[in-house]
Every structure is written in structure tokens, then in C-alpha cells.
Chains A and B, each alone.
Chain A
Amino acid sequence: MITRRSFIKACCAAAAASSAVPGMAYFNPLGAGRNISNDVIVYLFLRGGIDGLHLVVPSSGPERVSYDQIRHPGVLIPETDLRALDAEGRWGLHPRAGGLRGDGVGSAPKWLQKLWVQNKLAIIQGCGMPTALSRSHFDAQAWMDLGTPGSKNTSTGWITRYLSAATGLPQAELSSVFGFASTLPLSLLGNNEAFTVSRAEEFKVDGFHWSWDDSDPDINNHQGAHTRLANIWAQSDGLLGSKGKTTAQALAQMRDIPFSEYLSEGGAEYPDNGLGIQMQNLAQLIKQDTGLVAATLDYGGWDTHEGQGKPQPGNPGHYDYYGNQLEGLSRAVEAFYTDLALSAQGNIMNRVSVVMLSEFGRKVRGNQSNGTDHGYGNVAMVVGGSVNGGQLYGNFPGLDKASLFENQDLGVTTDYRRILAEALVKRMNFSAGNLDQVFPGIGSYEPLGVFQQ
């Protein structure tokens, strides 16, 4: 019988070996061939309210006319500075989703635009919370994370409720869910099993002085202090005792995974930002096949009240705060995609879906500080190998005066929970009849068609 510990160790060794030697078959101690046995849903939250109208911009037709009329020049992107999105030429993409500052809009698509062209990125317009309105970051984020628009006093997050209602989940070697955050994400509220780590490398007891922080068998079996944790908790009872043992085991397992030595596959290049590191950690954990089914990540910095910035594609020296943010996101997500899709273990990305949401869009008009204030409707994005990408979903609510919400904001036509519900049903084998347990009051199951069955 193989123990969990040795299993993980074997996987690590194999992962390192297979990455270091391209083309080498992955060694799977549990069976022939290697298939990540379950799907993974990744909930990536763009904290602060991304200006979706700065990401997907009308490039022709009546919406462009309204856009030109209403948008403050400080945040207005000319048609010629957009990358092409749909075949009809009605919509353009912020150029930094597909290229460097100095790249022209016609240069070869990188990152998110590349995924769009490959039909692996779907964009949903007019997304948000049609049943509840808040322009407070705190309330709107809490409502979305908890999965209960209008109420922030729910005691469990939507992922917690999904995990407790799901049947047939794989046995988790570490945890079914990872929250990449410093504190327990609200989407995981009420989940006692979740691993919450802001960086996987940090999930270890390492405060001891270096000389006793690690073990060195070459020096008379020098025993690092951390090796004693399991023994210290071995004789303990009750809830505290059992959790202490779990913790000691988790720490040992995570310590065994060489997060800092990870080699990505397929030429994937993770950006050197917080999200890039976390997505790399996540890809590594998924490749370990530990029974992880859900993960949450955050990418903040979208609260662009001032100096939002405008792209000047081709000019490598221009100021573009939003563009830099977007490039950071685009690089991380695309690296994650490539790493998993081109893995020696096969196309793992076929079993992984990344849903990108934000708490609200921003006021269409823009303000006097070349920024945008809090608004309502927004875009959402989905990336995955089993996503019907390269398409826009949802009804665009309209930028003309009559269509604007409260005279200022983009409206909401698609409940964000419909995207998550479809992912759960089509990708996670969750029963459509039980969706109410995850999203109380969501009503009937109405898939948008974003995901493949």
C-alpha cells in the first residue's frame, strides 16, 4: 500500500523529471497512463471593479456612436487603437490583452487574445447581479463571493456550499479546495478543510533559524525542528487533536512539493507578479492530481478612479496603468493555460475552467480625473479547454441614454451565477436540480452555452 506521503513524493520527483526532460513520459505510481481524473473550477476575482468597457470596447455601429458621445476623452480608446475581436468588427479588445506596450494592434496575438483566437476564451457582456444593487466594493464582493446577492450575512461561501452538496468528489490528498489568499476567502466561508495559502511556498513552518529550520542527515542525523510537528501532535484527542494531526501532515506534504523548483511546460512563462506565482502553484497542484476540484484567486488593483490610462499601441513609453494591470492578468492566465494544455501528461486544460469575475463595472462616462467611478454591469471572462470560446455571450445592455442604468451605468442582463451554475453542471457533474443549494433562489437552470458538456 502506498502512503499519501510517498505518493506525493513520487509525483514530485516524477513531475520534476518529466519537466526537466521534455518528452519523457510521466510516471504515475497509481496506474498506467496519466489522466487528471477530475475537473477543476478556478474562481479568479478581479477585485476593485475592472472597467469592462475599457477591455471590450465598441469599435463600430450604434454602440460606438454612443460611446464616442458619452465617454470622457481621458478614457476613450480610438477604434484604431483596439485589437480586432469579433468577425463583424463591432467590438475591439484593449491592445494589452494581446500585446506589449510597444506592439501595434496588428501584431501577432499574445495572451488573452491568443486564447480568444484559439476559441478558448469566452466573454460575457452585461454580467453582474440583476437582483441586487450595490456600488460598495465590500458589499458587492461579499454578495458575489457568498453567492447570495443582496445579503452579506450568509454564513457559507458558494464554493463551500458546492463542495458540501456535491457527490462523488475525488478523495483529496491535500484539500478539495485551495484559496490563494491571506485570509479565508468569503467564497470559502464555513469550510474548515480548505487550504488557504497566499503562496504555496509560504505554507510551511519556517520561522526557526536556518540552522534548525531544515534537516541534514549528513550531520549526525541533524533533525530540523519542523520534523517534530507530527510527533508533537501524535498523542492528542478531540477536534483539536485531529485537526492538529491534519495540519502537521499537510505541512509535511506541502513542504515536500518543490514549489520553488517547478518547471512549467509548453514554453509557458508565468509573469513575476503575485497572480503569476499563484497560478503556477495551482498548475503544479493540479498536475499532482491530488483531488483538488476548486481554487480561488484574486487579482486586485482595478479601482481606477484616477489616471486609468489609455493605450497607445506601438509606443513603448506611454503611461497605461490599466494596460499594465491587464497585461499582468493576461500573461498569468495564458501561462496557466499553456502550462496545463501542453503538459506531458496530456491536455489537462480540457478539465480546467477559469471563471473571471469582478464586483461591478464602472460608470460609462468617466470622470474629470481621467478615471472611472463605480458602476454596475460588467464583462466576465471564461478560459478553458472545454469552453466554447471566441464568442461574445449575453445581451449587451446598450450605451444609449435610454438603455443606461440609472442614467449612468451599463445595465446587467446576465446573472453571474448562471456562468458558475453552468460550469458546475456541465464540467463538475453537479446536478442542475441541486443548484438551489449552492445559489439559493437562482431559479431554473439556464445555461448560456459557454461550456462544453
Chain B
Amino acid sequence: MDAQLGGMPVGLRGEEDQIFVDDFVDNASDPAQFAWRILERATYGAQPSDVDAFLALGSSDDECLAAWLDQQLSWSSVNDAALDSRLSAANYSTLEKSVSELWSDHVRGSLSNWPLRYYPTAETDAARWMRAVYSNRQLYEMMVEFWHDHFNVAGWEFSIAPVFVQHDRDAIRPEALGNFRTMLESVATSTAMLYYLDNASNRSGGYNENWARELMELHTLGVDVYYPGTTPGSVPIGDDGLAIGYSDADVYEVARCFTGWTVRDGHWQFPDTPDYDTGEFFYYSNWHEGGSKFVLGQWLAPGGQQQARLAMDLLARHAATARHLATKLCRRFISDDPPQSLIDSTAEVWRSAWQAPDQIAQVMRHLLTSDEFKQGQGEKVRRPFELVASAMRKLDADIEPRHYDDFWRPYNEFFNRFSLTGHASFRWPAPNGYPDTKDRWTSASVMGQTWRILSLLPEMKKSDDGPFLMKVQDLTLAAFPNAGNRTAVNLVDFWIGRLLNGQIHTSRRQEYIDFLRQNAAPDQALDISAGFPNGNWSSGDLSEHYTPVRLRAMVSLILVSPEFYQR
């Protein structure tokens, strides 16, 4: 029995390639399969304890799922003490700083110490890894990632890095499962976004349309309802009294609404006092263009700062925004080409709840209790971050990542290698965020570099003679207290169970067994302890030739399998 784990069956093995069968059969008779399917797609990876906890929540699949969503959607009530203590032990220095502290410490105070300027982004990235791996608020962290992509800013850019903590902490995270309209305004006033899309310099007579255009094209309405042209009033009016889309004329008018939404950055036109050099958002009425604005077929009365808020109201309640966001959420959680019926029903929930404080939670509950979600699996290709985070969760990682680490510590190499996958945090340069379809994440370069870092993962150590960061050895020994049971077949099946819930193509399982045993018999017990950590030289019987290392390599080879790539 010690090859099984937490009641999870080793599962289907070899009979057919279930992962690649198009219509995945709802295996309602196997609650652990159901739990696995849900958790693999709504979290950064299902650990045995996650499956157990899920199964304990009810007596049927739907009951468990409903109860699990109750917990996850009330994210702030989920106990996260373990994560919190790890974060506080890591002692990151910037995550609690106000924007004015960030400004004085990392913009004004960084001239002689270049990495200092990038600490806020670097530590936000480090914390992101910790949260993905350790947080019990897994769905919430998945949503934070979604919103970072949706409201992308180039976090490592010179002017953005020093204030990036604020963007993550104050603009993205508070409403990740809350209200979109509220989030929209916190993003519009995020210092990072004000720089990234140039609204900081958008002023009467010196317009910058960058923010206004992306606000409509990417953040709200979507390019599907863009009607190119500069003639006001040229877009047809819909049932709700709003134009059904936007034109360039709307872009110009919304840009005018946002004139004066800027940053206290000591601009020479501001009063020459320290109050105007704090890095905070402020509305500078001298830069605002007065007068009414014509947006989406509506006249917005003059109202100073209030006018842009009215424009955001129109955008937030618009049907096109609901469709655009519903499509993106379905694409994130269901498949690259989600069914239109699900998009439509999700958009309806989005729209009717647009003023609700838990709007996004309502939408997610609808989406994650849909038949498409409950019955689907394997439609999405995990992006590099998801692959590595999932591996870390399932390998019981003990990490405390840090950029600008000492060179002999493991994280410099980790981040360098991870950046080669093209998915390093907050590095996407364009405002559309990291792509979310498999065609963008399956190039030879991305996949090759991802395999490269996955092959390194089980070898990473805290220091040269320190413990491994991934607990391959400990988990294996715990599963097989009796050394006589440590055969290649048993070890492979244990790890296929833990990493893939036992679902693997029969040919691959055989590859792993053959690699692990080399020239030993499949049922011969392997000595995975002698010579630990690396093992001993044995040119004759390869079952004794660096066997502890070979076990780790075998685990890496499961991480680079097609099954591990899919969620």
C-alpha cells in the first residue's frame, strides 16, 4: 500500500492515452479524479493534501466543489498563516512601503545603487513565487495572475520598477475577486500604469491617447467593437442607449476626460514643493481640459476629475466589456477556444453584477460550476510559470527566492534560466499581457528552455552542501519505508501518481521505468540512499550507479512529459 498516496489511486495506466481523448468522460464514480481535475485547473497544482481536503468537504462532487468555491472565493477568510510566516521570514524590504516611500527610497534615492531601483519589482516577483507555491488562497492567486496579464505594465522598466509594488498590491490584488469598476479606477490611478501608458503626461493641449486607447481596446470594450474613424457619433447605438463600440473619436474624447490624471513627480509645471514630488497619483486641475465630452454616444457634463469616472462607468457596464472579459476568463480556465454559450452566460453574470462588490467572484462561481469546467481537462497548455510552480508544489519545495542573490546561492541561476523561457514575471513589454493560447507557448525555444529549468529543479540546493529545495528523496523514502519495495516500477508509479494522478501513456511509463532501472531488472530493489546525495560509481550494475541522482532525473523527466504540460 505504500505506493499509494493519501487515498489517491495510482489510476489509469497505459490502457489508453486518456489525456489525448477529445471528449473526456466525466468520471463521476471516482471522486479523487474529480478533485484532481478541479484542482489542477483552478490552482497552481494539486498536492495530495489538497485532494484530501477537497474530498472532505462533502459527499458528492458538486457538494465538494460548491464548498471549495465558498472557501476560495471568500479568499480573505482563508487562513494563510504558513505563507505569511514564510514571507515574513524572507524579510523582503519593499512590499509594505507606501508609494511615497517607494518614491523617496527607490527613485530619488537610487542613483548610486542601480539594483535598488529594481527591488520593488524583484521582490514582488519573489513573493509571487512564494504565493503560488504556498498560499492556501490558490484561486485568488490565479486571478491575480489573470489581472496582471489583463492590466499589464512592463514591471522591469526603468520608471516603473521603483513603484511596481503599489501596482501589484494596491491596484491589482484588492479587487482580484471583487468589483471590476473599482479595480479599473485603482489601475487608472496606479503610478506604474500612469507611466506605462503615458497618462501621466496627458494634459490639455498636450494630449496623450495611449491610456485611453488601451483602456478601451484592451482593458474594457475590446478591439472587436472598434470602429476606425474620427467622426463623432458614427457608431450605432445599442439597446442600452450606448454606442455598441468605439471609434477614434471616442479615444480622443476619453483621453480628454483623463487629462490631469497624473503623478506627483516634480514636473516643472507643478508647484516647486516636496508635496509635488512623492510619486503619488493626483488630479491636477490645471492640466484638465474643461467642457463636455461625447463618449459612446453620451454627453458627459463637465465635472473635473468626476468626468473620467463617468467614462469608466460607461465602460464598466458596457455589454462589450462583459463579452470581452468573459471570453478572456473562459479562455484562461476552460480552453483556448471556449464555447460561445458559456461565454454568453458568463457575460450575462458579469453584466448583471457590474455594481456588486463581489462581481468577479460571482462570475467565477458561474464559470467554475459550469459543465464545461467540471467535465473538461487537458485543454490548456501550462505556461512556464504554471509548470514550474506546479512542480514546486508537488515536490514539496522549500523556497525563498531572491533576485540579486549572492552568486553561490541558487536563485540567480533559477531566475536566469527561468527568464529564458520567456515567461519571467512582469517582463512582457506590450500592454496586452502574456498570451494565453498554446500556440504562443509551444515554440522550440520556450519548451526547450522550460525543460531545461525543469531538469534543474530537483537538483537545486540551498547551498553547495545544503539540503535540496525539492524533496524528492524525502517523499520517496516516506512512501517506501521498506527498502525492499524500492523497485523501479514502484518508484515510477509513486511519482506518476503524485505528479499526474497516475494518468500517463503506457509508453512513457515504460520509458521512466527503463531509465530508472537501466540494466537492472524492473522488480529489483534500487538503492536510492547509498552515497546520498549523488550516489556511487558502479560501472557494472547500473542500478547502483549514481542511483539517488537518477531518481531525481527520472522525476524531472516526468515533469517534461505531455501529461504534465496539460491542465
Contacts and interface: CB of A to CB of B under 8 A. Distances in A.
Nearest to A199: B420
B157 A228 contact: no
B539 interface: yes
A17 B114 CA distance: 47
B507 A207 contact: no
A226 B422 CA distance: 22
B304 interface: no
A182 B423 CA distance: 10
B545 A222 contact: yes
Contact of A208 (B214, B455, B535, B565): B455
Contact of A207 (B17, B440, B444, B452): B452
Given A207-B556, A229-B451, A233-B562, A239 B445 contact: no
B443 A207 contact: no
A235 B17 contact: yes
Interface in A319-374: none
A239 B429 CA distance: 26
Contacts of B549: 208-209, 211-212
Given A182-B420, A240-B438, A142 B445 contact: no
A412 to B, nearest CB: 21
A196 B518 contact: no
B419 interface: yes
Interface residues of A, number: 55
B442 interface: yes
Given A196-B422, A240-B438, A235 B557 contact: no
B431 interface: yes
A211 B546 contact: yes
B545 A219 contact: yes
Interface in B493-521: 505, 507-508, 511, 515, 518-519
A155 to B, nearest CB: 8
Interface residues of B, number: 63
Contacts of B17: 235, 237
A246 B444 contact: yes
B503 to A, nearest CB: 14
Interface in B514-553: 515, 518-519, 534-535, 539-540, 542, 545-546, 549-550, 552-553
Interface string B551-567: 01110110011100110
Interface string A237-271: 11111011011001100000000000000000000
A202 B420 contact: yes
Given A205-B448, A209-B552, A219 B507 contact: no
Contacts, number: 167
A194 B443 contact: yes
A243 B442 contact: yes
B439 interface: yes
Interface string B430-463: 1110000011101111111101111111010000
A174 to B, nearest CB: 9
Interface in A147-193: 152-153, 175, 179, 182-184, 186, 191-193
A350 B163 CA distance: 50
B416 to A, nearest CB: 8
Interface of B: 17, 20, 154, 157-158, 214, 217, 381, 417, 419-420, 422, 424, 427, 429-432, 438-440, 442-449, 451-457, 459, 505, 507-508, 511, 515, 518-519, 534-535, 539-540, 542, 545-546, 549-550, 552-554, 556-557, 560-562, 565-566
28 contacts: A138-B154, A153-B214, A153-B431, A183-B420, A184-B422, A184-B445, A197-B445, A205-B448, A207-B454, A207-B556, A208-B459, A208-B553, A209-B546, A211-B550, A220-B519, A221-B519, A222-B545, A223-B515, A229-B560, A231-B507, A232-B508, A232-B562, A233-B562, A234-B507, A235-B507, A236-B562, A238-B20, A251-B451
Given A184-B443, A207-B556, 6 more contacts: A138-B157, A192-B439, A207-B417, A219-B542, A231-B511, A233-B562
